[in-house]
Amino acid sequence: MSAVPETGPLPDSRPALRRCVAGDLEEFASNYWGRRAVLSPREELATPGAGDQPERSGDLAAFADLFSLAAVDELLSRRGLRTPFLRIAKNGAVVGDNQFTGSGGVGAEIADQVRDDKVAALFASGHTVVLQALHRTWPALVDFSTQLSSDAGHPVQINAYITPPESQGFSAHYDVHDVFVLQVAGEKHWTVHEPVHVDPLRNQPWTDHAQAVAAAAREQQPVVDAVLRPGDALYVPRGFLHSAKALGGVSAHLTVGLHTMTRYLLIQELAALAANEVELRTALPLGFNPGDPAQLAPELDKVVALFTEHLQTASAEDLADRLRRRTWSGNRPAPLAPLAHAAAIAELKVGTTVRLRPGLNHHLVPGNPVRLNLPDRTITFPPETGAAVAAACSGAPFAVGDLPDLPPEDQVVLTRRLMTEAVLVASPT
């Protein structure tokens, strides 16, 4: 396996991550993250509000606060879903969208809305229903994905797989992102095998190694061979082969995908920064044959020398700026209710309690002016507001009037600006 970068301590206060993996989070980060699959039984996972102590309470133990079979029915019948928020498959073959979509009817003449009756017929005939991007469509999972992305430091997506009894939607394959499987309903038999292609990138799908995947799943001893029941969780690093089959009744699980950032991502962005080097933009000789190693060799030597010099002069600040723009948009921050937020801005006064918008990626740069980098823009402030802006963006709720180095009336102005920029939101009482 490839080396995993060293990390600092992971406090057990990361509530979403604690629901996905049992045991010590620092040990998980050091010994399992990106390296080994691990099964976390229901009894050892944390319940919402239980802090660091494993503690189960009714249906919360089965992730019912996040999702359920009733939620599946509501999404398919009452939420006006469209493709690509739904996929349907059987034995590894994906059904064409036209087999389960149609017009939305009067006032919603959209040709690709999900038809509940067609989905019902396909499900009854043994097809697996895949609800995609639930981190954008189901409120509890919107909140959960926001928290998990903050906990893990990587963008998060969530799909749900609903499988009829004794059915299998997809054969053995690997994903190009890490996965937490959260079993919501029914039972599903999972088998996980070692990778045939370690740490695949997003442009290296399992179909590139289809024969090796099939052979490994058929011939190798699995590293996980277990039945997941409601409340159990399974961590599958990217590249690990896996397949699942429903047992006995309808099975539903959430696949929580973490789009892991890699060292190769840094290489990509360093190469993109090289576009600023004029000599690296120079045209190759007229009549150059790129397929001729003899002609390629001297040019390669020049490029290696120039790129090496570029790497030695590249700054972490320049690279961080590019990475912010590329990765911070992977997940949205917590939802913001436009009307309620506008009302909160209008009613803002000394004593109002506000807080940083949960899940908002940001980076504060002191100076003249103070710069606050956000996913889609940078906003600036006078230098005398630096301490107040830093306190406001620290994540802790505060009352207007309690920020440092500014009189209360100026704090109202600053807070209103930060709320208008959707950096701060009213703190729930």
| Same domain for 189 and 84 | yes
Residue 9 lies in a domain: no
| Same domain for 267 and 121 | no
| Same domain for 216 and 90 | yes
**pLDDT over 60 at 175, yes or no:** yes
Q: What tens digit of pLDDT does each residue of 100-124 get?
A: 999 888 888 888 999 999 999 999 9
pLDDT of residue 5: 37
**pLDDT over 60 at 52, yes or no:** no
| Same domain for 290 and 176 | no
CA distance 36 to 237: 7
Residue 2 lies in a domain: no
289 confidence band (pLDDT: 50, 70, 90): very high
CA distance 55 to 307: 54
Total structural domains within the chain: 3
Place of tokens 């991007």: 133
Give the domain-ending residue among 296, 327, 358. Answer: 327
pLDDT of residue 209: 95
The amino acid occupying position 402 is: D
Q: What tens digit of pLDDT does each residue of 162-172 get?
A: 999 887 767 89
Give the domain-ending residue among 228, 258, 288. Answer: 258
Residue 7 lies in a domain: no
Residue 57 lies in a domain: yes
Residue 173 lies in a domain: yes
| Same domain for 276 and 247 | no
Structural domain span for residue 298: 263-327
| Same domain for 294 and 379 | no
Are 45 and 231 spatial neighbours (Cβ–Cβ below 8 Å)? yes
Beta bridge partners of 181: 234, 255
Residue 223 lies in a domain: yes
Higher pLDDT, 50 or 321: 321
139 confidence band (pLDDT: 50, 70, 90): very high
| Same domain for 88 and 44 | yes
Give the domain-ending residue among 278, 303, 327. Answer: 327
**pLDDT over 80 at 243, yes or no:** yes
Beta bridge partners of 88: 129
pLDDT of residue 60: 54
| Same domain for 170 and 21 | yes
Residue 375: give its domain's CATH number.
3.90.930.40
| Same domain for 316 and 180 | no
Residue 388 lies in a domain: yes
Mean pLDDT (the chain, rounded):
90
Q: What tens digit of pLDDT does each residue of 65-87 get?
A: 999 999 999 999 999 999 999 99
| Same domain for 249 and 168 | yes
Residue 173: give its domain's CATH number.
2.60.120.650
State both tokens at 206. 């399992």
| Same domain for 181 and 77 | yes
Q: How many CB atoms lie within 10 A of CB 287?
A: 6
| Same domain for 207 and 134 | yes
**pLDDT over 70 at 4, yes or no:** no
Residue 145 lies in a domain: yes
3-state secondary structure the chain: CCCCCCCCCCCCCCHHHHCCCCCCHHHHHHHCCCCCCEEECHHHCCCCCCCCCCCCCHHHHHCCCCCCHHHHHHHHHHCCCECCCEEEEECCEECCHHHCEECCCCCCCCCCEECHHHHHHHHHCCCEEEECCHHHHCHHHHHHHHHHHHHHCCCEEEEEEEECCCCCCCCCECCCCEEEEEEEEEEEEEEEECCCCCCCCCCCCHHHHHHHHHHHHHHCCCCEEEEECCCCEEEECCCCEEEEEEEEEEEEEEEEEECCCCHHHHHHHHHHHHHHCHHHHCCCCCCCCCCCHHHHHHHHHHHHHHHHHHHHHCCHHHHHHHHHHHHHHHCCCCCCCHHHHHHHHHCCCCCCEEEECCCCCCEEECCCCEEEECCCCEEEECHHHHHHHHHHCCCCCEECCCCCCCCHHHHHHHHHHHHHCCCEEECCC
